[in-house]
Copies of this chain bind each other. A is one copy, B any other.
């Protein structure tokens, strides 16, 4: 067992500058390395630490009987040199804004990360050996269940994109941190990596160092490029990065490469030629070992080959000297946009207005665009606060990952594109939930009501996608006033918040003073003779209101409810509708029949008999047409609502289940 190295264990800063202050391997041969030494460092400086990282990666995975030890061994030298000499962060304490960040983009090498954490004094050997066990903080892949992990990884190709966000945020906040990213070579196949290279190059994010652990072997066999390191380097250079190829087991070469990277005026990609399973003869560069823990006997043999290294080495890491404290995020006042009831304003326009106002109120609000900000009205924010507007171009994966990265440093990112195109980043959204990230998303051009552009541009699955994210909030305003109020509330909401905004101009329904609590709803039409309740949100609420008037003209009354909060949904009001409107609910939505508003309404009745829910939704592939034509063709317009109400929702009176 290693005893923790506390604050007081660190000695005074030696000559050589703060970078190398009090670094080195403690216990017995405690040494201090200065910057100048890195050029002539003895090759055994990192050997004990590297051996320990290997041994601990094996010990932890063998203890639980699963994991990816060989993927750890290939990167052990890279990480030993990083931890002891370059990473400016003290993992024993909560991360500070100026601390360097380390992202294991190859998340399956998590045991190596935890071995580093042990060597940094952040976790005990006992906790290391709790790897992958129920209730342990250290899971099979990195997650922010431990303070030294900022973003969850394990879905490949997402670490470098998150680093882009962190680096942009650091630049905005004037922070000196460096963001180190360990990538596997297999994940260099992911397009998201090239989005990160392109944006990192475009914005000259020189504080990012990508370290590619080129161990040649993927999960099932060799990678496309195997050890053609120069090919990876060429790609990185083609995107504007400095790139070099090194021997990833030559600790001095690694040290020099890191020092070079620290002086670079561009982002840097270090391609490190390594061997999977390096250090253990029966694992080294062998196929068939991916994702396999060693048996106890195999582990004993492996540790013997490693010289049965000591596993109590502790590196006394030091965080970066903090910069001046940032000013608080709330600086101004919120001037809510005001819309006249009855005027026609699109909810996308109101989103832009509210975001501009929010940006004036608080300086922590930033905006990220998928090169459609003139359509989403994110440009309204951009024009008012150009320093906090970030163009991510047509790279939606990077758009979401950058937002995840920016919230790591405490910013409140609003990322926006067409609702349909958030599907491009579904995996990033899924992982953002595992990261417990706070994101605000706005998806425009929802539904068939966009009209002529056709189905490729129509967000018809966004409510489904967003509802199925753990801990998410899903909002769908019907008028500008609502959209503005909800946009502001999102900034204070935990988890992933999504607002669905509409292309078409719609009538303003509520006056400026109205408030729209998340989880609430608005009953817009009610009578004592309501024969059904029409539950709608967004564009279809206006159809419901039209249907109400058409029905009222023939003496039929329906309740009309604005379910602007899709998740959480207003269960009490939905239940009241069922009670008071003859047990007949009509849900109408501009969305596929699966996973949207109707399912949210159904969930209200879980575990008990439910009322009759008639569901009007999009059920066949739409084409082009005018918004009016397409709403009617999909059977979600006012006429369709009138029709189902008039048909009396016949079966609901005599439920077939009681036949």
Contacts and interface: CB of A to CB of B under 8 A. Distances in A.
Contacts of A454: 132, 139-141, 143, 154
B457 A154 contact: yes
A595 interface: yes
Interface stretch (A48-56, A168-176, A537-545, A620-628): A620-628
Nearest to A474: B594
A157 interface: yes
Interface stretch (A273-281, A316-324, A651-659): A651-659
Contacts of A469: 461
Interface in A450-484: 451-457, 460-461, 464-465, 467-471
B224 A235 contact: no
Q: Which of A107, A135, A606 has the most CB of B within 10 A?
A: A606
Given A461-B468, A594-B468, A64 B452 contact: yes
A244 interface: no
B434 A621 contact: yes
A516 interface: no
30 contacts: A67-B452, A133-B625, A135-B623, A135-B625, A136-B623, A136-B624, A139-B454, A140-B453, A141-B457, A143-B454, A143-B455, A154-B455, A154-B456, A189-B195, A189-B371, A189-B394, A189-B395, A191-B192, A194-B194, A224-B393, A423-B429, A424-B427, A434-B621, A467-B594, A579-B659, A583-B609, A595-B595, A607-B614, A609-B609, A609-B658
Contacts of A202: 224
A431 B452 contact: no
A218 B393 contact: yes
A573 interface: no
Nearest to A591: B468
A142 to B, nearest CB: 9
A367 interface: no
Given A134-B626, A456-B141, A595-B464, A610 B607 contact: no
A421 B188 CA distance: 16
Contacts of A595: 464, 467-468, 594-595, 599
A589 to B, nearest CB: 12
Contacts of A623: 134-136, 139, 143, 145
A426 B433 CA distance: 17
Given A426-B424, A623-B136, A107 B607 contact: no
Given A133-B625, A194-B194, A595-B595, 13 more contacts: A67-B452, A139-B624, A143-B456, A145-B623, A187-B394, A218-B393, A219-B372, A235-B239, A423-B430, A426-B427, A460-B470, A461-B468, A608-B652
A283 interface: no
Contacts of A609: 583, 609-612, 652, 655, 657-658
Contacts of A613: 605-607, 610
A370 to B, nearest CB: 9
Contacts of A615: 603, 606-607
A657 B599 CA distance: 18
A394 B143 CA distance: 21
A375 B621 contact: no
Could you say which of A64, A135, A375, A465 has the most chain B C-beta atoms within 10 Å of its C-beta?
A: A465
